[in-house]
Amino acid sequence: MRDLPEFVMLFAAGFGARMRPLTNDRPKPMVEVAGRPLVDHALDQTRSIPRDQIIANLHYKPKMLQQHLDARGVKAVLESPEILDTGGGLRNALPHLGNGPVFTLNTDAVWKGPSPIELLHDAWRPEVMDALLVCIPLEHCHAYDGTGDFDIDADGRLNRGQGHVYGGAQIIKTERLSEIEATTFSLNLIWDLMLADRRVFGLSYPGQWCDVGHPAGIAVAEALLAAEDV
- How far apart are alpha carbons 62 and 156 in whole angstroms? 38
Strands 208-211 and 109-112, by their bridges, are antiparallel
Asked if residue 21 has a cis previous peptide bond (ω within 30° of 0), the answer is yes
- pLDDT, average across residues 101-113: 97
**Closest to 163 measured CA to CA, from 147, 174, 178, 175:** 147
Write down the pLDDT at residue 84. 95
Amino acid at 28: K
**pLDDT, average across residues 193-222:** 96
Task: Give percent helix, percent strand, percent coil of the chain, each to the nearest 5.
Answer: 35, 25, 40
Contact 53, 59 (CB under 8 A): no
Asked if omega into 81 is within 30° of 0 (cis), the reply is: yes
User: What CA–CA distances, in Å, run from 80 to 39, 192, 197, 206?
Assistant: 21, 27, 33, 38
The domain locations on the chain are 8-226
16, pLDDT greater than 90:
no
Per-residue pLDDT tens over the stretch 137-187: 999 999 999 999 999 999 999 999 999 999 999 999 999 999 999 999 999
Q: What is the pLDDT of residues 33-82, one digit of tens each?
A: 999 999 999 999 999 999 999 999 999 899 999 999 999 999 999 999 99
pTM for the complete prediction?
Answer: 0.94
Please determine, for residue 230, whether its predicted confidence score (pLDDT) is greater than 60. Answer: no
> Regarding the domain delimited by 8-226, which CATH topology (the fold level of the hierarchy) does it fall under?
Spore Coat Polysaccharide Biosynthesis Protein SpsA; Chain A (3.90.550)
Mean pLDDT of 188-212: 97
In whole angstroms, give the CA distance from residue 76 to residue 14. 14
Lowest mean pLDDT among 16-20, 85-89, 147-151, 161-165: 16-20
pLDDT of residue 229: 61
- The full 3-state SS of 104-158, as one line of letters, equals EEECCEEEECCCHHHHHHHHCCCCCCCEEEEEEEHHHEECCCCCCCEEECCCCEE
